[in-house]
Structure 1
Amino acid sequence: MNIQSGSKKEVIFLLLNQFADFEMAYLTSAINIGVEIERQQTPYIAKTVSIDGRIVQSIGGIKVVPDYSLATLPENYAALVLIGGYDWFNPDTKKILPLISASLRANKIVAAICNATVFLAINGFLNKVKHTSNALDLIVKYDTENQYVGHSYYMQQPVVDDHNIITANGFASLEFTKQLLLALHIDSKEKIEAYYHFFKYGLYCRTTEK
């Protein structure tokens, strides 16, 4: 199968300064080259966006030149992925709210990990969906505008997928990866599970599926 890059659906990774690079490493590579040991063709391609399109630097010192700014981001992306980090409580992040709202209205997948889940919660996006985060107490701490009323929907587990919203805590990057790959149907469930098992436990697990 030969899929031209121009025909691939874009999965958009929203990055802030001091983003957690380790939370996206497995996911971006699987989106671009698939979940098997040999490089594959997939129907998706990973792209990045920052608020203003300027270079952002991860907590590990990796500099990324984003593909888009909020102003230039196209509308036909498949999923929006919010990567955690230290800057999610910066006032500038309010500029991201219209993008998240538009994504959910269009029934796109919105996935968030670590502090990005707290951001979703304190801005009212998790009030009626099952979700997780780094800790419920952390959401309450940062909910200074009292927009979070989703306490009964909070689940103490690594990753939760409900109504096109995927949330994960900051220690669950592989679980986050697996859940989003399943939601995107990037490959069969068996192959995605084998991919997860390989990286989680360091043991190669070949599926019997052809």
Structure 2
Amino acid sequence: MINKRVARKGFLDHSEHTSNALFYLQNFAVNYSGSNNYKDELAVTDNNIITANGIAPIEFPREIFKTLKLYDKIEIEKWFQLFKHGIWTE
């Protein structure tokens, strides 16, 4: 739903992005013209815009952590593996 609002404002027209489905944005986001930048992925970051589809509750914060450089890459990957797959590595 958020992606639809962001798309309506034109923020996705010039950035790689994702959503639940391309047809969703094309049908429900008036003035959306970013279909050439759509990626069929769980989460995408481009131009400091982070988008994710509805089944990416772990991928979305991972992209936030990366963008904010909250932790180093190794720590982010360890966090991701723990919450996505239940695996912790030292």
Which has the larger helix fraction?
A: 2
TM surpasses 0.5? yes
What's the CA shift for 1:176? 0.7
User: Hey, what's the Cα distance between the residues in 2 that align with 1:199 and 1:168?
Assistant: 17
User: Hey, what's the Cα distance between the residues in 2 that align with 1:141 and 1:149?
Assistant: 11
Q: How does 1:27-42 map to 2 (within 5 A)?
A: none
SS of equivalent residue, structure 2 residue 55: coil
SS of equivalent residue, structure 1 residue 173: coil
Q: Which runs of 5+ in 1 are unaligned?
A: 1-114
Larger radius of gyration: 1
Q: Match for residue 16 of structure 2?
A: 130
Q: Match for residue 199 of structure 1?
A: 83
Identity %: 36
User: Hey, what's the Cα distance between the residues in 2 that align with 1:119 and 1:134?
Assistant: 13
Write the deviation string for residues 92-142 of structure 1: whole angstroms up to 9, x where unpaired: xxxxxxxxxxxxxxxxxxxxxxx2112111221100111000111111221
TM-score by length of 1: 0.42
TM-score by length of 2: 0.93
Equivalenced residues, count: 90
Which has the larger strand fraction?
A: 1
Q: Which runs of 5+ in 2 are unaligned?
A: none
Work out which structure has the larger RCO, using CA pairs closer than 8 Å and 6 or more positions apart in sequence: 2
2:50 to 166, 174, 178: 166
Matched AA of 2:80: Y
Q: Match for residue 189 of structure 1?
A: 73
User: Hey, what's the Cα distance between the residues in 2 that align with 1:158 and 1:205?
Assistant: 24
- Aligned-CA RMSD value: 1.0
Dislocated runs of 4+, deviation >2 Å: none
